[in-house]
Amino acid sequence: MTELTGFPTRKQLRDLKRREIVRCATVKFGTEGYENVTLEAIATELGVTKAALYNYCSSKNDLLMQCYELGMDLLVDAVETAMAGTGSAAERLAAGLKAYIVTMLRPDMQYLWSYTRPMVTSGDKRSVLDSRDKLDAMFRNVLNAGISDGSLRAELDPKLASLVILGAANWVGIWYREGGGQSPVEIAADVTGEALRGYLV
Amino acid sequence: MTELTGFPTRKQLRDLKRREIVRCATVKFGTEGYENVTLEAIATELGVTKAALYNYCSSKNDLLMQCYELGMDLLVDAVETAMAGTGSAAERLAAGLKAYIVTMLRPDMQYLWSYTRPMVTSGDKRSVLDSRDKLDAMFRNVLNAGISDGSLRAELDPKLASLVILGAANWVGIWYREGGGQSPVEIAADVTGEALRGYLV
DNA sequence: GCACTTTGGTAACCGAGGGTCATTAAGCTT
DNA sequence: AAGCTTAATGACCCTCGGTTACCAAAGTGC
């Protein structure tokens, strides 16, 4: 989010608009569901016509990809920050997982995540898949580090373990709905504890 | 799959056709994705017109629900059978989970499962949600049984544990793609072992 | 055997919505 | 001022989910 000062250049203005479109679409896709949101609706909300949107995306699906990309970036950032601490690998793993879940449960991410992610197929934008791989790699790395520093069980298989752990975490994004008594932070703590139970020494 | 002998009655014929439509739709939704399948395509493949389908379903989404229902029934049956053994609860849990994963990875279930499930919202057909609850209950029950018979750790929380375990299992349906070297049975065994690691005594 | 309803299908159509394109208005540049 | 680029518009097309009027064949009562 680079802020502008003075006269924005053409490029800056363009990027600003693009981001505004993506932000608007993210909220609408997230709360109403991809299929129920028309490009007309997005355009109207932004005070332009549908055709104008096509200056910033090549198709509705491409717009969805841009939304997803934004979400993935948030997620990567959150996990990266949480894992940057100086504790044991096990502690960093727990912190990263907790951050992952909490971020995923943000109101504007939640539905986007659970409802939309499945429509991102392997044929899609490379950058999206890159973020996905990056997240996976971050968790595998910290799992490996845990074996090295002795804070996680030595016999675990990082690849399998990351699948199980991320599976459990991603599942939260699917069943969690607001107003269920527990806050995202509480849920994240519970699920993190449960998912890592078999790996802590 | 009740087979017919002799002259089928009107009702039988009708139900036969309905099932054939659902079967066809399941395969197509599963392999091509819900959005990419037109009712025309399904109708053509069955040698009828689009309008004829509306004698057997009330909307495209309703057809999807019927597909999903079929899949859920298969899943419930598979798990029920696998869990019916006489071993310890831990053994039955492992068998059930393995059956769950293997069934989920059947070619005609796979995409339907990962791609389509998210579109089944809480406002949908009761029977679909019932199957979902039923599966969940089956796993929670066997977890409870495991605490009782001592084959699982006493301190586990069945609700949380079933979320984590099913989350890990469902995640497989999302990342698994055919031709990845490992067979569904092998994957099911690996993931089952990994997901239950923290719960076995 | 003949009217008469019921069932299951068809062809034609409708409207919503994604996507396109010629055109125009508003800056830059020289 | 002239010419070029950019961004937006409005009218349009096409696909596809869904509806409706109509028809043919199978069952049913007389």
Q: What pLDDT digit, counting tens, does each position of B163-193 carry?
A: 999 999 999 988 888 777 899 999 999 999 9
Please tell me the distance from the alpha carbon of residue B97 to that of residue B196, in angstroms, as a whole number: 9
Structural domain includes residue B35: no
Structural domain includes residue A4: no
Structural domain includes residue A124: yes
Nucleic acid strand C within 7 Å of A157 CB: no
Scanning every residue of chain B, which has its alpha carbon at the shortest distance from the alpha carbon of A168?
A: B167
With beta carbons under 8 A apart, name residues in chain B contacting A36. Answer: none
The CB density around residue B50, as the number of other CB atoms within 10 Å, is: 13
Nucleic acid strand D within 7 Å of B39 CB: yes
User: How many angstroms separate the CA of A22 from the C1' of D10?
Assistant: 24
Question: Taking each helix axis from N to C terminus, what angle separates B184-196 and A158-175, rounded to the nearest 10 degrees?
Answer: 80
Answer whether A164 sits within 8 Å of B198, measured CB to CB.
Answer: no
Q: Structural domain tally of chain B? A: 1
Q: Is the pLDDT of residue A122 over 70?
A: no
* pLDDT value for B47: 96
Q: Could you tell me what percentage of chain B is helix, strand and coil, using 3-state DSSP and rounding each to the nearest 5? A: 75, 0, 25
Alpha carbons within 13 angstroms on the beta-carbon side of residue B5 total: 0
pLDDT tens digits along B130-154: 888 899 999 999 999 999 999 999 9
B143 or A85, which is more confident? B143
Nucleic acid strand C within 7 Å of A56 CB: no
Comparing CB atoms, the residue among A35, A163, A171 nearest residue B166 is A171
Nucleotide nearest to B49 (CA to C1'): C10
Q: Chain A: nearest CA to B111, how far in angstroms?
A: 10
State the DSSP string of B135-166: HHHHHHHHHHHHHHHTSB-TT--HHHHHHHHH
Spell out which residues of A between 139 and 178 contact strand D, using CB within 7 Å.
none
User: How many angstroms separate the CA of B24 from the C1' of C7?
Assistant: 23
Scanning every residue of chain A, which has its alpha carbon at the shortest distance from the alpha carbon of B201?
A: A198
Scanning every residue of chain A, which has its alpha carbon at the shortest distance from the alpha carbon of B168?
A: A167
The residue range of the domain holding A121 is: 10-196
What's B166's domain CATH number?
1.10.357.10
* pLDDT value for B121: 65
With beta carbons under 8 A apart, name residues in chain A contacting B114. Answer: 118
| Strand D nucleotides with an atom less than 7 Å from a protein beta carbon | 6-11, 15-21, 27
pLDDT band of A5, cuts 50, 70, 90: very low
Amino acid, single-letter form, for residue B110: Q
Structural domain includes residue B16: no
Structural domain includes residue A81: yes
Structural domain includes residue B23: no
pLDDT band of A1, cuts 50, 70, 90: very low
Structural domain includes residue B105: yes
Comparing CB atoms, the residue among B35, B118, B167 nearest residue A167 is B167
Token reading at A77 = 């950032």
Nucleotide nearest to B36 (CA to C1'): D16
Structural domain includes residue A5: no
Nearest Cα to B104, choosing from B67, B75, B84, B139?
B75
Nucleotide nearest to A56 (CA to C1'): D7
Q: Is the pLDDT of residue B119 over 80?
A: no
Q: Chain B: nearest CA to A17, how far in angstroms?
A: 29
Q: Is the pLDDT of residue A121 over 80?
A: no
